Amino acid sequence: MNTFKVSVQETSNKAIVKFEVNQFITQHQSFEFNNIDEAKESPLAQQLFYLPFVKKVYISGNFIAVERYNIVEWNDVQDEVAEQIEAYLNDGGIVVENTAATKKVPVTVYAESTPNPAVMKFVANKKIVTALFEFTSIEEAKHSPLATELFHFPFVKSVFIDENYVSVTKFDITEWQDITIEIREFIRNYIESGKDVVLPGAEETLQKSTKQLDKNYEALDDISKEIVNILEEYVKPAVASDGGNIQFIAYNSDEKNVSVMLQGACSGCPSSTYTLKSGIENMLKEMLPGKVETVEAING
């Protein structure tokens, strides 16, 4: 059985807290319950309504948002609620019955060009995965039904999936103007149908769960940790906006060299060398003086 982990996320509304799950608990569907009677088709929501301070429950994708009455503060009860949800899920509790009415949220997907002319980014209006995944062949894509389907298009070379978007790399046999609408509509229909984007447990199998990533981070030396933190804060948001990712691989203290992997739109991008040398390398040399001299990509 897959292990569910629940974390507490604050929202801009002090009365509402999101309990984020490390995997999807609905098939890209959304449900809203205002009281225990409305929640009759959601055993999980009913359990939450037994707590006297719960006013409203909203379930969508990989989170449960709960609105409270003012009789308590979230700081006093949120950890216990997170533990209760986590225990319920790990005991095999039903989130919502198949007959439950969804709160209809239309799926939209728009295409966005990237600095890499071979890559197009398709952005959805909802979260579709809880970790990033890259597949360079249909054999690798066995953990992702969506990527497997995309590889059935003869012009698809690789697929990169992050929180709310899919970056598709094409072969040179066709132009984006001829295939963009077709791929965009395919992805939109796929998400709207509620099918798995990646299989349950794919994070664990591919060593991408939060627990596994934290364990890998803790095993690093201090300088490597500093490099990872700089990449996470200053570099990843920028490359993610371009439909890609940068991943720390290794640090050689003798040569003062940093090795990284470029993924998605960043892999094979004509501007990636300039980005590495004029951007990332200079940043690390400035922020870690005397510790970093060069940055190299093992691919891209």
When pLDDT is averaged across residues 132-145 and rounded to a whole number, the result is 90
- Band of residue 179 on the pLDDT scale cut at 50, 70, 90: very high
- Report the percent of the chain where pLDDT is more than 90: 42
- Band of residue 192 on the pLDDT scale cut at 50, 70, 90: confident
Q: How confident is the model over 32-72, as pLDDT tens digits?
A: 899 988 888 899 999 999 999 999 999 988 899 999 999 99
Task: Tabulate helix, strand, coil % of the chain (nearest 5).
Answer: 35, 25, 40
Q: Which residues pair with 30 in a beta bridge?
A: 60
Q: How confident is the model over 212-223, as pLDDT tens digits?
A: 677 777 888 889
Which of the pair, 1 or 196, is modelled with greater confidence?
196
Tokens read off for 13: 């509304």
Closest by CA position to 196, among listed 99, 89, 61: 61
Q: Given the structure tokens 């994708």, which residue do they identify?
A: 61
Give Cα 72 to chain centroid, integer Å. 32
In this predicted structure, the answer to whether residue 257 has a pLDDT above a threshold of 50 is yes
Q: State the amino acid at position 265 in one-letter form.
A: A
The per-residue pLDDT for 266 is: 78
When pLDDT is averaged across residues 250-257 and rounded to a whole number, the result is 88
pTM: 0.67
- Band of residue 208 on the pLDDT scale cut at 50, 70, 90: low
Q: What are phi and psi of 194, to 5 degrees?
A: 85, 10
When pLDDT is averaged across residues 14-38 and rounded to a whole number, the result is 88
Q: How confident is the model over 82-137, as pLDDT tens digits?
A: 999 999 999 989 998 876 555 556 789 999 998 889 999 999 988 888 888 999 99
- Band of residue 300 on the pLDDT scale cut at 50, 70, 90: very low
When pLDDT is averaged across residues 241-255 and rounded to a whole number, the result is 85
Q: What is the DSSP string of the chain?
A: -PPP-EEEEE-SSTTEEEEEESS-SSSS-EEEESSTTGGGG-HHHHHHHTSTTEEEEEEETTEEEEEE-TTS-HHHHHHHHHHHHHHHHHTT--SS-TTPPP------EEEEE-SSTTEEEEEESS---SS-EEESSTTGGGG-HHHHHHTTSTTEEEEEEETTEEEEEE-TTS-HHHHHHHHHHHHHHHHHTT--SS-TTHHHHTT-SHHHHHHHHHTS-HHHHHHHHHIIIIIHHHHHHTTEEEEEEEEETTTTEEEEEEEETTTT-TTHHHIIIIIIIHHHHHHSTTT--EEEES--
- 261 sits in which H/E element: strand 257-264
The per-residue pLDDT for 123 is: 94
Cα separation, 118 vs 115, whole angstroms: 9
The per-residue pLDDT for 144 is: 92
